[in-house]
Amino acid sequence: MKETEVPQSALPTNPARITVPPGLDNVIVATTHISDVDGASGRLTYRGVAISDVVERYPTWTALVPWLVTGLPDAEPAAWTDGPPRQILGTADPMARLAMLVWAAGDGAVLDTPLESAAFVQSLPAQYARLVGRGAGKPEDPARAFLLAMTGHAPTPAEVSALNAYWVLAAEHSLNASTFAVRVAASTGARLPEALAAGIATLSGPLHGGAPTGVLSQLAALEQEADLEGALWRLLERGERLMGFGHRVYRTEDPRAARLRGVLHTLGGAGGAEHASRVEQAALAVLARWKPERPLAVNVEFYAALVLSALGLAAPDCPVTFACARLAGWTAHYWEQRATGRLIRPLARYTPSP
Ligand code: ACO
């Protein structure tokens, strides 16, 4: 599709003159230097670096955050020491707890630059672990702190590096729904913690970051099934979606899924890798018959769910684990949007109720 620059002054004021699809498919609403998702060829880059090189260059999420947020290869955020008390979290759902933590931890904090924000964001997974976990102590690596707190046992080095690989791969993905929500909040001049809370809320939906829960329950339901293709076909006939498949932008396998398939193998086949692989093959065959005109391939959530489950994380904790990673990308977009100085305020076409 050809991109056409329309000067602000030339934009029509009559909403009837510009119509975009309700899901904003193929509509470009921002310019970004942070990442690029090439859906046709299945390529993903962070700040111009191919994702396969990013994971080699940044073995931990903590190492990735300063560069991703600031764009500066040598950025070194100061250590973040503040944190709210445990009781602020109450008994809410994990995503609500993370949103409350981010909001409370950022209350009154000086977050005036990308570098200060990187320090804040780097501290959040370990803060979350400390608040919800079982006596996590203060290990250096947030991935280790997180696993220790969420599973109650000390993770192996392979498990820590698997979570880091997942966090690096999930840190950023251009203008997906939650990043758009963060940019909308940023465009109003909201502070970073509030904008991150908007991202967390948006990521919680089952079509976005909530998908691993659906992936794991679909895999469990298919465990005793001899005829996988028949069972998957019946799910589609009932109007259900195959969780972990399809993507708004990719028309190929999601490059992050391919990397996570490899990460799953480093965990020694835990988490039902063989069953998952059979379901994946059956699902691809069934989807190709179901929607021949629409390529529906495996997305990041399918293998993310399996990796997180192999790491001992419970299904309800998968979205929050994803959100911790994405705090990095959201923060980068927050600053990019603030730099435009432009309020995001589209129009709706009014039609009287029938
Ligand atoms: N299973 C079955 N059918 C599907 C699937 C699927 N996983 N994905 C898309 N389709 C079908 C739709 O039903 C639709 O059919 P229709 O034209 O007859 O209505 C057609 O393919 C096109 O789908 P859209 O909904 O227009 O595609 P969209 O771009 O909105 O979908 C989405 C993207 C939401 C990810 C979708 O593929 C889906 O629901 N997948 C399952 C949930 C999932 O895995 N989410 C995680 C995505 S990755 C992430 O957010 C980090």
What ligand 1 atom has the least distance to the C-alpha of 249? 29
The confidence score (pLDDT) of residue 141 equals 86
**Mean pLDDT highest for which of 9-18, 88-97, 127-136, 185-194?**
185-194
321 CB near ligand 1 (under 6 Å): no
Rounded Cα distance, 314 and 319, in Å:
10
User: Residue 277 Cα, ligand 1 centroid: separation in angstroms?
Assistant: 20
Long-range contacts of 273-276 (CB under 8 A, 24+ apart): 273/306, 273/310, 275/219, 275/222, 275/223, 276/219, 276/302, 276/303, 276/306
In the chain, the amino acid numbered 288 is A
pTM: 0.89
289 CB near ligand 1 (under 6 Å): no
Identify the helix (H) or strand (E) that includes residue 184.
helix 177-187
For atom 32 of ligand 1, the residue with the nearest CA is: 247
Torsion sign over Cα 102, 103, 107, 110: positive
Annotation marks residue 223 as catalytic = no
* pLDDT band of 2, cuts 50, 70, 90: very low
Task: Check whether 1 has a pLDDT greater than 70.
Answer: no
Residues 6+ apart with CB under 8 A from 142: 61, 62, 122, 123, 125, 126, 129, 324
319 CB near ligand 1 (under 6 Å): no
CB atoms near residue 38 (< 10 Å): 13
Q: Active-site residue among 159, 247, 280, 336?
A: 247
User: Residue 247 Cα, ligand 1 centroid: separation in angstroms?
Assistant: 6
Task: Check whether 307 has a pLDDT greater than 90.
Answer: yes
Rounded Cα distance, 294 and 210, in Å:
23
Task: Check whether 8 has a pLDDT greater than 80.
Answer: no
Strand order across the 35-38 sheet: 35-38, 43-46, 49-50
Rounded Cα distance, 25 and 23, in Å:
5
pLDDT-above-70 percentage for the chain: 92
Long-range contacts of 341-345 (CB under 8 A, 24+ apart): 342/187, 343/187, 343/188, 344/29, 344/183, 344/184, 344/187
Q: Which domains does the chain have, with CATH numbers?
A: 88-109+157-344 (1.10.230.10)
Residue at token pair 């059956």: 282
Q: Is 312 exposed, middle or buried (0-12, 13-18, 19+ CB in 10 A)?
A: middle
283 CB near ligand 1 (under 6 Å): no
- For 108-135, b/e burial (b = at least 16 CB within 10 A) is ebebeebbbbbbbbbbbbbbbbbbbbee
Query: Which of 44, 172, 207 for a ligand 1 pocket mutation test, highest count of atoms within 8 Å of Cβ?
Result: 207
What ligand 1 atom has the least distance to the C-alpha of 176? 50
Residue at token pair 């931890």: 105
Q: Do 158 and 312 contact (CB within 8 A), yes or no?
A: no
Distances (CA, A) of 341 to 4, 159, 248, 330, 335: 21, 42, 28, 17, 10
The confidence score (pLDDT) of residue 136 equals 53
Q: Active-site residue among 172, 301, 333, 336?
A: 301
Question: φ, ψ for residue 36 (rounded to 5)?
Answer: -135, 130
244 CB near ligand 1 (under 6 Å): yes
pLDDT-above-90 percentage for the chain: 73
For atom 49 of ligand 1, the residue with the nearest CA is: 208
pLDDT for 209-236, tens place per residue?
888 889 999 999 999 999 999 999 999 9
In the chain, the amino acid numbered 20 is V
User: Residue 280 Cα, ligand 1 centroid: separation in angstroms?
Assistant: 16
For atom 34 of ligand 1, the residue with the nearest CA is: 207
Q: Is 76 exposed, middle or buried (0-12, 13-18, 19+ CB in 10 A)?
A: exposed
pLDDT for 152-186, tens place per residue?
989 999 999 999 999 999 999 999 999 999 999 99
Count CA atoms closer than 13 A to 285's CA, side-chain side. Answer: 13
249 CB near ligand 1 (under 6 Å): no
Tokens representing 268? 């020694």
Query: Which of 27, 243, 245 for a ligand 1 pocket mutation test, highest count of atoms within 8 Å of Cβ?
Result: 245
43 CB near ligand 1 (under 6 Å): no
